[in-house]
Amino acid sequence: MANIGFIGLGIMGAPMAVNLLKGGHTLFTYTRGETPASVTGAGAKTCANGAEVARQADIVITMVPDTPHVEDALFSENGVAAGLSKGKIVVDMSSISPVATKGFAERINALGCEYLDAPVSGGEVGAKAASLTIMVGGSEAAFDKVRPLFELMGKNITLVGGNGDGQITKVANQIIVALTIEAVGEALLLAAKAGADPAKVRQALMGGFANSRILEVHGERMVKRSFDPGFRIELHQKDLNLALTTGRQLGVSLPNTATAQELFSACAAHGGAAWDHSAMVRALEKMANFEIGQ
């Protein structure tokens, strides 16, 4: 059993931390605001800041919303870097900039420590069920050491390549997810407007080549009008911004990603930044002046 640090106990981080505790590890935690009762109740030890977490733990995991939050967690005055000693491993499981990730890794490596970027897919459901997909960038040696922890949090675990490659894989994932949500939304909206029962249309489509996890889960959300997150639109907007920014840096056109981002922006403009990302369909419904649930 190992001493593990965990920073960031939000919708995703809290259940991930609980699963590590269930695996028998000692967990030292820090988060902005109050530590969730689910985490303290499972036996986590709370710390005053990231530096204290790093001093206590051999492997430190960060799970925070965006690139600036990771930088702050790692390199602020009382951040993780201030408490590291040689041989420790930092694992960032947030979804952030691939370019910034490479810089963070270099700074951690300079302290004699290893760095893995290991963003996840699967949402709150996957975090609770320990069935996350985990995309990892970093050295094989560090990956092998951390893999037993990944296996307590996820099922599909892949070392993609070097630092930054985990993050670019997550960006690619978020493009596919957003565009599939848009496709499912268009399809069910068209069917409903034509007078078909969208629930039965979804059921029929799930038996064919159009089936997907998004049709299964988010198609049901669209039919039942259940848009509590989940994964918030504002977070998916952040991920698509990473995609579009990286695309510009590499000279790659991402036209449908840009369209999906505009649909998310339309939802946010109507007060939906905190809706589940399946609520992208609401932007399509506004344009059609028709709701799937009618």
Which tokens hold the place of 224? 């039942």
Which residue, among 113, 114, 119, 149, has the nearest Cα to 134 in the 3D structure? 119
How far apart are the C-alpha atoms of 52 and 221, rounded to whole Å?
41
How far apart are the C-alpha atoms of 144 and 239, rounded to whole Å?
28
Count of other CB atoms within 10 angstroms of residue 24: 10
Which residue do the tokens 């995703």 mark?
12
Q: 3-class DSSP state for residue 276?
A: strand
* Angle 128-129-133 from CA coordinates, rounded to 5°: 100
How far apart are the C-alpha atoms of 69 and 65, rounded to whole Å?
6
Pairing type for strands 89-92 and 59-62 reads parallel
Residues whose CB falls within 8 Å of the CB of residue 260, separated by 6 or more in sequence, listed in order? 175, 178, 179, 181, 182, 240, 280
Is 238 an annotated catalytic residue? no
Which tokens hold the place of 7? 């920073």
Sign of CA pseudo-dihedral 21, 25, 31, 35: positive
Check 88, 170, 200, 286 and give the catalytic one. 170
Phi-psi group of 196: left, alpha or beta (phi > 0 → left; psi -120 to 50 → alpha; rest → beta): beta
8 Å CB contact between 57 and 4: yes
Question: Residue 173: enclosing H or E segment and its boundaries?
Answer: helix 165-193
Count of other CB atoms within 10 angstroms of residue 156: 13
The catalytic site residues sit at 170
